[in-house]
Structure 1
Amino acid sequence: MPEPFPSDPVRAEGPPLVAAGRSGAPRLIVLDPAGAAKHDGLPATWRPLAEDHEILWYRIPVEGAWRETAETLAAPERSDLVTSGPLAADALQLAAEHPGSLRSVLLVDPAAEGVISPGDAAVADEAWLVQHDAEIAALRESGVEVEVLAHSRDDPDDQVPSPLPLGHGWVVDALRETLAKLEAR
């Protein structure tokens, strides 16, 4: 697993894991490169998801978050893994190491390892998918779906540079739709 992100004293405070929802419900494992949920609560947009899911929100800037993620994925419980740009390639690697524990890897702005212009995000994401095609194909062959949930858009409503925060409403809406499709399969 990668080394922790450069220390941001504000983001590195608080717990490495924020857990919410119903134990035993379908599990969402979130790898958050931004370290949201600092005050031991999910972003407001995610709280309704906790009614029907168990959510394990790992705040990657916090020491110990990667270790705890690996421990969770070592358990045989089937989960969906959600992350964004800076951690997208790492999420594919984690999924390859734990395919029996994951149903899907769901990505937001996977190409955004830094800031990308919203107008370039979709094209950059497509190029990222091509670059990681072999890993994605191997995961799909092992039964793990890989999908891009959302990316920044060149749209007046998109005032946030890429990558979209995991708590953004577009991300949560796309996550709901994707989870429903996965359930229907």
Structure 2
Amino acid sequence: MREFHKEGPRAEGAPVVWAGRDDGPALVVVDPSGAAKHNELPPTWDQLASHFQIAWCRIPASERSLEDVEDVLETLTERRASANLVASGEACPAAIAIARQFADIVSSVLLVDPVDDDNTGTLADTGIEVRVVARSHHGPSDRVEAPMPLGHPEVVDGVVSALASMS
């Protein structure tokens, strides 16, 4: 699996932040930028935390990188919880690969600014839906370069819309 940058202020803090419900369906966020540094979800995710278990996997904060995501999915397997993965930018291909490993519990992979749109159909044989839920606009309204931060309201809106259309 690919290793991600583990330097800078976003690398500080817990590698996995759990929030939301103690049981039921889960959202597993694979975040290469390292948001949720202070053990709290971005406030935009509060609406999702009331309906889901959320495991925010902060890739830059982990010495083990993607092994933490696999550990989260193993925990969810033990809890018999279904999971939807949310990934951004350079973490998208890794999230798709991990979803294939855990096809028995993963329902979908929701992508934000994927580095390669060709990967969106790669899980068709598993029944796991792969969908792009948000993209940077590459215009004056964007304040940061792609990928769009996972805490951005457009990302949350895209996740909510995707989940609603799949249920």
Does TM, scored on the shorter chain, surpass 0.5? Answer: yes
Is there any run of 5+ residues in structure 2 with no aligned partner, and where?
A: none
Note if contact 1:18-1:56 (Cα within 8 Å) is conserved in structure 2: yes
What is the TM-score with the length of structure 1 in the denominator? 0.81
Please list every run of 5 or more consecutive structure 1 residues that lacks an aligned counterpart in the other structure: 112-127
AA aligned to 2:30 is: L
- Counterpart contact for 1:17–1:65, Cα < 8 Å: no
Post-superposition CA distance 1:1-42 (Å, at most 9, x none): 222x23313122110111100111320000010001000000
Question: Does residue 140 of structure 2 align to residue 172 of structure 1?
Answer: no
- Cα distance in 2 for partners of 1:41, 1:171 equals 17
CA distance in 2, matches of 1:7, 1:52: 31
Greater CA drift, 101-110 or 74-83:
74-83
> Match of 2:68?
68
Aligned to 1:12: 11
Superimposed CA distance per residue, residues 51-87 of structure 1 (whole angstroms, 9 cap, x where no aligned partner): 1111000000112352221122232532000011111
Write the letter of the residue equivalent to 1:66: L
How many matched pairs? Answer: 162
> Which residue of structure 2 aligns with residue 99 of structure 1?
103
Secondary structure of the corresponding residue to residue 44 of structure 2: helix
Per the TM alignment, residue 155 of structure 1 is displaced from its structure 2 partner at its CA by: 4.3
Return the index of the structure with the highest Cα Rg: 1
Alignment RMSD = 1.6
Structure 1, residues 126-170: CA drift from partner, whole Å, max 9, x if none? xx323x36xx34x22211000000101144432221110000111
Structure 2 residue aligned with 1:59: 58
Alignment of 1:33-182 (within 5 A): 33-62=32-61, 63-74=63-74, 75=77, 76-111=80-115, 128-130=116-118, 132=119, 136-137=121-122, 139-182=123-166
How far is the alpha carbon of 1:182 from its aligned partner? 1.0
Counterpart amino acid of residue 87 in structure 1 = A
Contact persistence 2:20–2:49 (CA under 8 A): yes
Higher mean C-alpha displacement, 14-23 vs 68-77:
68-77
Q: Mean alpha-carbon deviation: is it higher for 64-73 or for 19-28?
A: 64-73
The one-letter code matched in structure 2 to 1:69 is V
TM-score where L is the length of structure 2: 0.89
Amino acid across the alignment from 2:45: W
Instruction: Report sequence identity in percent.
Output: 42
